[in-house]
Structure 1
């Protein structure tokens, strides 16, 4: 069954790369941190969507993980100059209106807060790295978001841009709409629908449930 033939009780949005463009901030912050520790920044490629501690463990297992995480977190929180909403995002959120929705991000609560604020996005329910023991690609963040919204995970639509997020959503039993902001269509192949951005689809609420379908040319 295609997404256009279904309705959903709730929509769960990833943040970075799905709702907001934080590429500049992320790149500048991680490169700065890497250079501070003589780490080749090229080793950071391919980790998008993963929680920061997992990235640190992968590229710099010799460093104190808590100190490294705190430093990167501060760099990113302090750098939101060019963080903006991605195409179609504000229209999608406006169309969903009061229907259940949540942001589900691998960032910390403080980082998610400043980025959502910088982009002018107001979604009250936010599940962050701070709320779960296991982040993406584990299903825990999406399961917690569904629980907080009082809906079944299998009745949720997840909007994601990263393979780890798609894997997490699938493991939680959710349907997935993926955008190619940071990944190729092949990398997002497990999604139900892959589009270039949320501007390519239309969200609408029917009898309190959310429907999404491709935007007609």
Structure 2
């Protein structure tokens, strides 16, 4: 992809990024709480309660990884349910909450509009199943050049596979991409892929990400 002239409104290490790769849950939409509620509900059905110690295995992780963690927490019995069965229950519980309680993160529409106006390619790189992503996309009102969902890679976050696959499909070098993330698993994935990472502060929404794309040093870069 040829270099673009730097846009002073969206500069990146002396020029424009070749692409901006967005996490979805907790980054563009406020769904982390909904995901935790869904996981907690399914965990209760398996006879256990989620605690803060479960957070690294739930937040920012794929449905399959979370399901495996919940089944392991029941001594591998899963309340009589397989990992696949628990994953299906998680997806259904999450989808129900997304349909009724989805909130777009402050600043997300403005940032996506700025990137579209600057002709910067964008990708959505989510740990959620495609069925969940498709529920969210209409609310964002943005035509992403690429969508990577849980089903698109053999390994999900915190492995680098989703970000490497996004860069490969967009035909850009990961080092020339900015990844926008909120969770430790997502940051680990993007960093391992070689992307520069901007980390979202949920209290501020996307405001600091817009500032970061205007030239602030990215996290991990």
TM-score range, shorter chain: 0.7 to 0.9
Q: Distance in 1 between matches of 2:92 and 2:145?
A: 23
Taking structure 2 as the reference length, the TM-score comes to 0.79
Pairs within 5 Å for 1:1-217: 5-42=14-51, 44-46=54-56, 47-61=58-72, 62=76, 63=78, 64-80=82-98, 81-97=100-116, 98-181=119-202, 196-202=204-210, 211-213=213-215
Q: Does structure 2 retain, via aligned residues, the 8 Å contact 1:12–1:103?
A: yes
**Cα deviation, residue 165, structure 1:** 1.0
Supply the distance in 2 between the matched residues of 1:77 and 1:18 (Cα, whole angstroms).
17
Aligned partner of residue 24 in structure 2, secondary structure = coil
CA contact (8 A) 1:101 1:149 kept: no
Unaligned runs of 5+ in 1: 183-195, 205-210
The answer to whether the Cα contact below 8 Å between 2:125 and 2:163 also exists between their aligned partners in 1 is yes
Equivalent-residue separation in structure 2 for 1:25 and 1:121 (angstroms): 22
Which structure 1 residue ranges, 4+ long, deviate > 6 Å from structure 2? Answer: none
Please give the alpha-carbon distance, in whole angstroms, between the structure 2 residues aligned to 1:85 and 1:163.
Answer: 21
- Structure ranking higher in strand proportion: 1
Q: Secondary structure at the match of 1:78?
A: helix
- 2: CA distance between counterparts of 1:99 and 1:203? 16
Q: Displacement of 1:116 after TM fit?
A: 2.7
Q: 1:84 to 1:171 in 2, by over 3 A?
A: same
TM-aligned CA deviation for residue 120 of structure 1? 4.1
- TM-score after normalising by structure 1: 0.81
Q: Would the alpha carbon gap of residues 203 and 121 (structure 1) be closer, same or farther in structure 2, given more than 3 Å must change?
A: farther
Select the structure that is richer in helix.
2
> If you compute each CA radius of gyration, which structure gives the higher value, 1 or 2?
2
- Counterpart CA distance in 2 for 1:153 and 1:125 is 15
RMSD: 2.3
Aligned length: 194
